[in-house]
């Protein structure tokens, strides 16, 4: 192919090295513009929240009601499981078996409160699954307790309702979609590593959902309710994605 | 080409269209999506680094808003914003990537402009490039460029797939398994990002060296006179 106007290779060296230096310097200056972060502008926030709502729908479509989270071997279980809350472990709510009652409300037929002994008497499901945090860390743990789905059926919850909400003794709150609540691996974990669930991990029970991120697994639960009104959640109200499925 | 057209072309050298409009649009959508994904991804990384080294990306180079503003507005220190960006950007990046690959294969752009790329030509052109002896012809890619574009396409593909596998380690568990499990998939995702950043450094440096390529990617044509013989190329 002839006739192209070419850069003379002999000229390219000196001249272009200088041009190169100058232009990369201006590219460097351009990257400093990232200081003008638009993330918190009203319009941008609205678009981002709308995309998050879209992601809620996409994730609920992708969710398989009977698709099980991978399970692991006994030797994979992390013994020194990470304590995680927005306050130090010493400040965890210390609930006593004598006084504790699990309250039920919303679209549930039998709203009788449950004692720890009654919860412990229910048939248990044990799982060794991976807990994945929204920050990126993950740990394999062993949890056991009644299936939330069985419990909801037992108390006559409206299973056609959209949401199951939780309120916790530490002020934390959250909610999940009904299909996830009825998933066979969603349990009210009363044990961790075959021991009674320790105070720091949510005694008397935590909701363990291996198909969702860690923050969707509330601890120290004191109220379960069923509703069709979007209940939000502690982190969701701070901008985190609501469905947050794994 | 008629005689008249040939004469006209000689009288008024028409700049040759290098990049069709669709490709330019997809290029800039991709550029924006990549910047969003890297910026937000760096901040997400900082919250719990996938690599076992005590190092994070400098805060001003991450995307997710100013710490204090976000704290005041959302009661969050900025991870939520970064995640919102990341999971919004992934749709743009992925759909645009699929469109680009589909059109690239369908239109013959990949076959015509990115192939062939022989190891021999690659070494020859790389050697010349490192000595600033490699000439740059608009609209024609040398072997180093071709290899780089394949590398960038591969890096984006691997980063998208590994990203999906750590986003959905339950629903897409077969994909996560392919990447060696959740923890290794995170490292793969990081390496994919690193490869893309590496490509970007070279890509932007070469653009700085030959600025008319930037003009071509914006306007579709550059003011470089070409006399392509009839029947050859375009």
Q: Give the chain A residue nearest B211 (alpha carbons).
A: A23
Give the pLDDT confidence score for residue A7 in this predicted structure: 37
Contacts of B117 (CB under 8 A, 6+ apart): B143, B146, B147, B150
Rounded Cα–Cα distance for residues A199 and A193 (Å):
14
For residue B86, pLDDT beyond 80: yes
Instruction: Provide φ and ψ at A128, rounded to 5°.
Output: -115, 105
| Cross-chain residue pair A19–B208, CB shorter than 8 Å | yes
Q: Note whether B88 contacts A: Cβ–Cβ < 8 A.
A: yes
Is the confidence metric ipTM above 0.90 for this complex?
no
Which two three-digit tokens encode residue B202?
A: 């070279």
For B130, name the nearest residue in chain A, comparing CA atoms only: A13
Mean pLDDT of B184-207: 95
Residue B174 has pLDDT above 70, yes or no: yes
Residue window 135-164, chain B: list those with CB within 8 Å of chain A.
Answer: 135-137, 140
Distance CA A91, CA A153 (A): 34
Strands A103-106 and A221-227: parallel
Banded pLDDT at B10 (limits 50, 70, 90): very low
Backbone angles phi, psi at A106, to 5 degrees: 80, -145
Q: How many residues does chain A have?
A: 246
pLDDT at B6 over 50: no
**pLDDT on residue B2:** 42
- Give A-chain residues touching B87 at CB under 8 angstroms: 51-52, 55, 241
B218 part of contact set with chain A, CB < 8 Å: no
Facing A51 at nearest CB: one of B88, B170, B173: B88
Q: Give me the pLDDT at residue B15, please.
A: 52
Show which of residues 63-82 on chain A sit within 8 Å of chain B, judged by CB atoms: 63-64, 67-70
Which residues of chain A fall short of a pLDDT of 50?
A: 1-22, 24-25, 29, 32
pLDDT over 60 (residue B16): no
Structural domains in chain A, CATH included, are: 71-238 (3.90.420.10)
Instruction: State how far the Cα of B175 lies from the Cα of B191, in Å rounded to an integer.
Output: 17
* Residue A34 touches chain B, beta carbons under 8 Å: yes
Residue B228 confidence (pLDDT): 41
**pLDDT band with cut points at 50, 70 and 90 for residue B145:** confident
Contact between B70 and B78 under an 8 Å Cβ cutoff? The reply is yes
pLDDT digits (tens, 9 = 90+) for B18-63: 888 999 999 999 999 999 999 999 999 999 988 888 889 998 899 9
- The token duo for B189 is 């995702």
């Amino acid at each position: 192919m002839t006739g192209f106007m070419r850069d003379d290779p002999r000229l390219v060296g000196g001249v272009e090295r200088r041009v190169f230096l100058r232009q990369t310097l201006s590219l460097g200056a351009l990257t400093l513009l990232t200081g003008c972060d638009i993330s918190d502008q009203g319009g941008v926030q609205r678009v981002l929240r709308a995309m998050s709502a879209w992601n809620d729908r996409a994730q609920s479509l992708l969710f398989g009601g009977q698709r099980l989270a991978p399970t692991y071997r006994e030797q994979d279980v992390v013994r020194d499981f990470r304590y995680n809350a927005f306050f130090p472990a010493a400040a965890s709510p210390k609930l006593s078996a004598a006084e504790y009652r699990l309250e039920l409300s919303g679209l549930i037929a039998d709203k009788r409160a449950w004692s720890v002994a009654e919860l412990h008497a229910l048939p248990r499901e044990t799982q060794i699954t991976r807990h994945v945090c929204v920050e990126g860390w993950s740990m394999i743990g062993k949890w056991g307790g009644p299936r939330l789905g069985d419990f909801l059926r037992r108390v006559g919850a409206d299973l056609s309702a959209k949401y199951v909400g939780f309120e916790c003794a530490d002020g934390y709150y959250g909610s999940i979609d009904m299909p996830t609540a009825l998933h066979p691996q969603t349990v009210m974990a009363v044990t961790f590593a075959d021991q009674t669930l320790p105070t720091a991990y949510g005694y008397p029970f935590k909701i363990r959902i291996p198909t969702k991120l860690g923050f969707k697994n509330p601890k120290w639960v004191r109220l379960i309710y069923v509703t069709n009104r979007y209940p939000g959640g502690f982190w969701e109200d701070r901008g985190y994605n609501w469905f947050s499925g794994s | 080409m008629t005689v008249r057209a040939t004469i006209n072309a000689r009288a008024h050298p028409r700049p040759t269209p290098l990049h069709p409009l669709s490709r330019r649009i997809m290029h800039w959508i991709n550029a924006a999506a990549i910047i969003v994904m890297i910026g937000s991804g760096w901040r997400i990384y900082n919250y719990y680094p996938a690599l076992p080294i005590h190092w994070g990306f400098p805060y001003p180079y991450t995307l997710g808003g100013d710490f204090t503003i976000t704290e005041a507005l959302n009661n969050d220190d900025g991870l939520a914003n970064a995640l919102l960006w990341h999971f919004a950007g992934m749709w743009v990046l992925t759909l645009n990537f699929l469109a680009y690959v589909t059109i690239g294969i369908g239109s013959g752009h990949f076959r015509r402009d990115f192939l062939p790329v022989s190891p021999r030509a690659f070494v020859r052109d790389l050697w010349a490039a490192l000595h600033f002896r490699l000439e740059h012809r608009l609209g024609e890619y040398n072997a180093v460029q071709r290899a780089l574009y394949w590398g960038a396409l591969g890096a984006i593909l691997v980063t998208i797939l590994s990203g999906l596998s750590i986003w959905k380690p339950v629903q897409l568990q077969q994909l996560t398994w392919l990447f060696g499990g959740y923890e290794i998939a995170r490292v793969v995702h990081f390496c994919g990002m690193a490869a893309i950043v590496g490509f970007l450094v070279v890509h932007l440096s070469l653009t700085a060296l030959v600025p008319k390529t930037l003009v071509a990617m914006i306007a579709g044509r550059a003011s470089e006179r070409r006399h392509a013989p009839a029947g050859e190329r375009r």
